[in-house]
């Protein structure tokens, strides 16, 4: 290989990188790939989801700083680099009628403006492959949807010398993927596997809600079972956001490795020839660089 492979994962909040594609990133880091996580917001409006910390006054008073420190720890565990794009968390408004988004938040920043910092970062880092969320955000959090829009726009704009002049030399990534980790098929496989082993599954109610849901097409299945433990350690580093006794960790790793040993992606765009399905985000890229 004449050039080191580079992967950029674009996420909405600190902790998203550890729950979506983390084992894949850890595997590629171990193989010598340069991996950079771009985090759009600081997660300032995230809820404290760990019951052990929900009433801690220090956590509640210093959540933005704590989330940055959690990100530092997760980054070190995964072995990746990480950059903040500097936007403010939009929160997840709930209610009927739905309340408006807070002024100045990421989801309300005009797309052209919100894309600029990522274009600069793409041109600096020069990734061959980018990953992010689909147009639904994976789930309809306003920051996840905006993250998709920004990542897709930057993928197109970073290589265009007419766009965003002054933000670095143009660079065109070769492939763009959407994370599709939380498919119904995977959840059902783990659910049925746990029941077959005589274990209680945490996914029964979720699967009932999803009974009419159709999975999006996954094109790329990256074997990364050896790195599931790294993924879990990185996720646990986000202590304010994750219940260590919650559903994330209910299924034993050895069962996960046997039942669903991959992380899955949807190839959205490719500027190199591909043959689907794939088992490598850099399929076609390696040949281009050889």
Closest CA to 220 of 141, 129, 140, 146: 129
> What's the CA gap between 38 and 267, in Å, rounded?
19
Residues 6 or more apart whose Cβ sits within 8 Å of residue 118: 10, 38, 85, 150, 151, 154
- For residue 189, CA distances in Å to 38, 40, 53, 155, 178 come to 31, 32, 32, 34, 21
Query: Concatenated DSSP letters for 147-210?
Result: HHHHHHHHHHHTT-TTSSTTS-S----SEEEEE--S-HHHHHHHHHHHHHTTPPPS-HHHHHHT
- For residue 268, CA distances in Å to 69, 134, 169, 178, 274 come to 33, 9, 24, 7, 12
- Asked whether the beta carbons of 62 and 38 are under 8 A apart, the reply is no
Query: What is the three-state SS of 56-87?
Result: CHHHHHCHHHHHHHHHHHHHHHHCCEEEEEEE
Binding annotation: 13, 16, 144
Binding annotation for Zn(2+): 13, 16, 144
């Amino acid at each position: 290989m004449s050039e080191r492979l580079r992967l950029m994962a674009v996420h909405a909040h600190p902790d998203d990188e550890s729950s979506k594609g983390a084992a894949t990133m850890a595997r590629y880091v171990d193989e010598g790939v340069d991996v950079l996580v771009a985090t759009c917001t600081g997660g300032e409006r995230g809820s404290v989801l760990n019951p052990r910390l929900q009433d801690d006054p220090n956590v509640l008073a210093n959540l933005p700083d704590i989330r940055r420190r959690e990100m530092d720890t997760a980054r070190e565990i995964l072995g990746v680099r990480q950059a903040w794009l500097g936007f403010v968390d939009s929160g997840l408004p709930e209610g009927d009628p739905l309340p408006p988004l807070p002024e100045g938040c990421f989801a309300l920043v005009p797309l052209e403006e919100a894309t600029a910092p990522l274009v600069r970062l793409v041109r600096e880092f020069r990734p061959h492959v980018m990953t992010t969320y689909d147009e639904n955000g994976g789930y309809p959090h306003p920051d996840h949807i905006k993250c998709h829009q920004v990542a897709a726009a930057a993928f197109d704009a970073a290589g265009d010398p007419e766009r965003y002049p002054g933000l670095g030399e143009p660079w065109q990534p070769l492939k763009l993927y959407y994370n599709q980790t939380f498919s119904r098929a995977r959840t059902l496989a783990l659910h049925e596997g746990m029941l077959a082993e005589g274990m209680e599954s945490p996914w029964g109610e979720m699967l009932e809600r999803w009974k009419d849901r159709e999975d999006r097409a996954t094109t790329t299945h990256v074997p990364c079972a050896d790195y599931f433990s790294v993924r879990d350690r990185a996720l646990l580093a986000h202590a304010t956001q994750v219940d260590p006794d919650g559903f994330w960790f209910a299924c034993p790793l050895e069962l996960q490795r046997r039942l669903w040993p991959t992380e899955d992606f949807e190839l959205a765009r490719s500027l190199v020839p591909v043959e689907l399905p794939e088992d490598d985000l850099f399929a076609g890229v390696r040949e281009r660089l050889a």
